[in-house]
Amino acid sequence: MKSLTHENACQQILQNVHRHITLDQNEKEIFCSKLSFRKVKNREVLQKAGENCMFSYFVTKGCLHGFQTDQNGFEHVLNFAPTDYWISDLYSLISGKPAVINIEATTSSEVIILSRKDQEDLYLEVPKFERFFRVILEKSLVHFQQRILDNLRLNAEERYERFCEKYPQLVGTLAQKQIASYIGVTPEFFSKMRTRMLRRS
């Protein structure tokens, strides 16, 4: 018997899944039986670089982010995962090698957890999920491709504007240094750039 929170989370992810595939009652139950649930505190770590990635996370509330830390201690944000987004270290998940990114909450959050093994089983038991994740991956790929082109074409101000368009709900909640690290500038430069932009408008 599941708690109300779990029921709600299941409803939420099923609603998301149904945007791309249609499941019957049995398939829904198979899927939900593989999910677990967790509250995550602000700054809590779900995945450490160097350790094998064994889970995919679906955010039902709050926001996580994936990042790398370089030899100088600088963080580089690969992605933010607000509500209804999936996040994992895909490299580690599909290769079985140690993770290259860290996953951490940017605010107190709630996530659904799908283990690597359960995900593989799911593909076999309910092949529709091959399609589901194919579609998710396509969208994700388009997003990352656009980001690469933005990084090639745009200067820091323009990249920040893009970020604001893409994640309007995050602009107010994230630390500036996290946004700076996503668009690829230092916190100092980001701060100066922001005052410059505000002065103009």
Partner DNA sequence: CGTCTATTTGAATGTACTCAAAAGCGGTGG
Partner DNA sequence: CCACCGCTTTTGAGTACATTCAAATAGACG
Binding flag, residue 192, DNA (CB under 7 A): yes
Residues in touch with its own copies (CB under 8 A): 68, 70, 74, 76-79, 90-91, 94-95, 100-101, 123, 127, 130-131, 133-135, 137-142, 144-149, 151-153, 181, 184
- Distance in Å, CB of 144 to its own copies, minimum: 4
Q: Which two tokens stand for residue 100?
A: 């290259």
Which of 29, 188, 200, 201 is the binder for DNA (CB under 7 A)? 188
3-state secondary structure the chain: CCCHHHHHHHHHHHHHHCCCCCCCHHHHHHHHHCEEEEEECCCCEEECCCCECCEEEEEEECEEEEEEECCCCCEEEEEEEECCCEECCHHHHHHCCECCCEEEECCCEEEEEEEHHHHHHHHHHCCHHHHHHHHHHHHHHHHHHHHHHHHHHCCHHHHHHHHHHHCHHHHCCCCHHHHHHHHCCCHHHHHHHHHHHHHHC
Which of 3, 22, 25, 195 is the binder for DNA (CB under 7 A)? 195
Binding flag, residue 69, DNA (CB under 7 A): no
Q: Order of strands across the sheet with 55-61? A: 35-40, 109-115, 55-61, 86-87
- Distance in Å, CB of 27 to its own copies, minimum: 15
Cα distances (Å, whole numbers) of residue 183 to 62, 150, 167, 200: 21, 10, 12, 21
Binding flag, residue 175, DNA (CB under 7 A): yes
Nearer to DNA, 120 or 188 (CB): 188
- The torsion angles phi and psi of 167, rounded to 5 degrees, stand at -130, 60
Stretch that binds DNA, among 15-23, 52-60, 109-117, 178-186 (CB under 7 A): 178-186
Nearer to DNA, 46 or 179 (CB): 179
Binding flag, residue 171, DNA (CB under 7 A): no
Binding flag, residue 90, DNA (CB under 7 A): no
Q: Pick what 141 binds: its own copies, DNA, none; C-beta below 5 to 8 Å, kind-dependent.
A: its own copies
Stretch that binds DNA, among 13-21, 25-33, 87-95, 170-178 (CB under 7 A): 170-178
- Distance in Å, CB of 148 to its own copies, minimum: 6
Contact residues for DNA (CB under 7 A)?
Answer: 42, 72, 155-157, 175-177, 184-195
